[in-house]
């Protein structure tokens, strides 16, 4: 802390010697002589000194006057903006600057870069972030990879807790969405709980729209977040300072784990993970240099008690597809068709597809669920999704119609069987049989049984024949028995066993 004004007060106002001033203020006599000499050279007396504050006095006496600049000054603000463009470098901007002022004195490339960096330092500010326990999990991939013997590479996923810096790392074959989410699920299992937020950067595998203000994760990531009752909040693009814990953890993993594995040979990603496990334990138990304890102890004290519980089941990877309900109340997923409630015909729905199931969602609510079927051109239909008329039609079978006829009487059952026999295909006889059986509602079961008995005796058991017999009351005038018509050996009767 400078004592310029106090030195001049004691000298010019109190008239003390250099030695006494130096002793009183705890400075050397040479400093006292320097300050007094500068004031004398500037022609300052005590009233003039008293009217100035310490800063103004320092600027007047100690700051050297700025030398006139002979070099043309670049527009460092524009340079800073241009460097954000892809492919633009300081070398290119320096060449353009020197070309624009070729007839004037310009800076060399090294001085140009030094001046720009001095300018940029004045712009940058770093805010210390305070992370609450159990609030944030930072995730990222390390830049370097580990080579495998088959020529492929193992990519290293890194996660770090916000409050304790407790670190997790594992190897994956690639950096796809599946790798990101599978590794994140493993990390949450490793920590034994779920944070309120998960902070990645802006990988295309996870983030559908890396907007600075309203970033949007893709549907699978949102589904993952719903399953674990958490949320993804990606860092701003090109702002690594938004996730300093991840950046620091990646650097530590590179130095304390990957560097120790550089001389080893690995045949698979699983072998890399086996080698990482003991090194990761050592890393988390390693004592901090400036703080008490280690990452493991800090996690047990801070983050672990504040984490949300894990769900009962681990997340099953799913992908989503927009589907339209066809007129047959089915949607198509991978060339197979799955039914939905018939009231949704024409609606645009969302299919959630996992390794074992297909769920159909309408406005976020599940309306249908099917086992995954990979048979192209096939149908998976739930009867409850069908209209009542379709469901009733599907339930009609020859055996069911014969059994219905038996509830009325043996002659009626034989008549139904005869109608089915005379049809080229069982479904051809469905309408006639249903018409015949429906006569019981109008005339009653006893009369229908009598009408069928008479129709069988005269060899005319079509629907219209039985209907005319009942309409003309012929069944009342001619009682008959149906014993000969219900014999299992009759030439015209196949029997119900035929349709089993």
pLDDT tens profile 285-327: 988 876 778 889 888 888 888 899 999 888 888 888 889 988 8
Task: Answer yes or no: do 96 and 151 share one domain.
Answer: no
Cα 454 to Cα 57, 326, 430, 476, distances in angstroms = 132, 49, 22, 10
Task: Answer yes or no: do 298 and 329 share one domain.
Answer: no
Task: Answer yes or no: do 212 and 335 share one domain.
Answer: no
pLDDT digit string, tens, across residues 351-369: 888 878 888 888 878 888 8
First to last CA, the chain: 106
Structural domain contains residue 485: yes
Task: Answer yes or no: do 165 and 277 share one domain.
Answer: yes
Structural domain contains residue 129: no
Name the token pair of 124.
């940058």
Last residue of a domain, one of 361, 387, 413: 387
Task: Answer yes or no: do 166 and 300 share one domain.
Answer: yes
Query: Which domain, by its residues, includes 354?
Result: 319-387
Give the pLDDT confidence score for residue 347 in this predicted structure: 86
Task: Answer yes or no: do 162 and 296 share one domain.
Answer: yes
Last residue of a domain, one of 387, 416, 441: 387
What is the C-alpha separation between 225 and 234, in angstroms, rounded?
A: 13
Q: CA gyration radius for the chain?
A: 45
What is the C-alpha separation between 273 and 170, in angstroms, rounded?
A: 6
Task: Answer yes or no: do 377 and 403 share one domain.
Answer: no
Specify the number of domains making up the chain. Answer: 5
Structural domain contains residue 200: yes
Structural domain contains residue 66: no
Task: Answer yes or no: do 289 and 372 share one domain.
Answer: no
Task: Answer yes or no: do 249 and 347 share one domain.
Answer: no
Give the pLDDT confidence score for residue 99 in this predicted structure: 92
Task: Answer yes or no: do 212 and 86 share one domain.
Answer: no
Last residue of a domain, one of 306, 340, 367: 306
Task: Answer yes or no: do 47 and 22 share one domain.
Answer: yes
Give the pLDDT confidence score for residue 426 in this predicted structure: 62
Structural domain contains residue 130: no
Task: Answer yes or no: do 172 and 293 share one domain.
Answer: yes
Structural domain contains residue 131: no
Which portions of the chain are predicted below pLDDT 70? 1-2, 63-69, 84, 86, 123-131, 210-214, 237-243, 290, 389-397, 423-428, 478-500
Structural domain contains residue 438: yes
Structural domain contains residue 313: no
- The alpha carbon of 307 is separated from its chain's Cα centroid by a whole number of angstroms, namely 20
């Amino acid at each position: 802390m400078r004592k310029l004004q106090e030195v001049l007060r004691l000298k010019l106002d109190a008239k003390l010697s250099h030695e006494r001033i130096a002793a009183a203020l705890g400075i050397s006599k040479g400093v006292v002589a320097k300050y007094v000499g500068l004031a004398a050279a500037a022609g300052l007396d005590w009233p003039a000194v008293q009217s100035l504050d310490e800063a103004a006095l320092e600027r007047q006496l100690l700051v050297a006057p700025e030398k006139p600049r002979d070099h043309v000054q670049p527009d460092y603000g524009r340079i800073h903006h241009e460097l954000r463009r892809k492919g633009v470098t300081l070398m290119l901007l320096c060449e353009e600057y020197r070309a624009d002022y070729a007839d004037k004195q310009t800076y060399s490339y090294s001085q140009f870069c030094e001046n720009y960096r001095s300018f940029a330092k004045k712009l940058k500010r770093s805010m210390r972030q305070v992370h609450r326990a159990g609030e944030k999990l930072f995730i990222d991939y390390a830049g370097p990879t580990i080579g495998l013997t088959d020529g492929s590479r193992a990519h290293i996923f890194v996660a770090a807790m916000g409050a304790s810096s407790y670190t997790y790392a594992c190897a994956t074959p690639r950096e796809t969405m599946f790798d990101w989410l599978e590794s994140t699920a493993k990390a949450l299992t490793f920590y034994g709980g779920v944070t309120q937020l998960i902070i990645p950067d802006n990988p295309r595998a996870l983030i559908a729209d890396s907007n600075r203000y309203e970033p949007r994760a893709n549907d699978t990531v949102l589904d993952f977040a719903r399953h674990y009752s958490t949320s993804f909040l990606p860092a701003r693009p090109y702002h690594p300072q938004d996730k300093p814990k991840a950046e620091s953890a990646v650097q530590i993993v590179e130095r304390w784990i990957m560097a120790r594995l550089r001389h080893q040979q690995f045949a698979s990603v699983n072998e890399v993970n086996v080698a990482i496990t003991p090194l990761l334990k050592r890393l988390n138990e390693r004592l901090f240099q400036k703080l008490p304890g280690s990452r493991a102890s800090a996690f047990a004290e801070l983050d672990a008690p504040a984490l949300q519980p894990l769900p009962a089941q681990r997340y099953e990877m799913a992908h989503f597809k927009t589907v339209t309900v066809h007129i047959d109340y089915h949607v198509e997923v991978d060339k197979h068709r799955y039914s939905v409630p018939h009231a949704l015909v024409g609606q645009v729905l969302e299919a959630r597809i996992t390794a074992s199931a297909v769920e159909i969602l309408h406005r976020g609510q599940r309306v249908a669920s099917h086992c995954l079927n990979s048979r192209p051109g096939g149908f998976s239909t739930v009867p409850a999704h069908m209209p009542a008329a379709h469901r009733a039609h599907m339930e009609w079978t020859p055996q069911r119609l014969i059994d219905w006829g038996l509830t009325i009487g043996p002659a009626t059952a034989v008549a139904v069987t005869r109608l089915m026999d005379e049809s080229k295909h069982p479904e051809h006889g469905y309408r006639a049989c249903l018409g015949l059986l429906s006569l019981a509602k109008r005339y009653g079961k006893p009369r229908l049984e009598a009408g069928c008995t008479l129709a069988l005796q005269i060899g005319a058991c079509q629907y219209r024949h039985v209907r005319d017999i009942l309409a003309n009351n012929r069944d009342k005038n001619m009682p008959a028995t149906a014993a000969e018509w219900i014999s299992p050996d009759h030439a015209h009767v196949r029997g119900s066993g035929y349709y089993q």
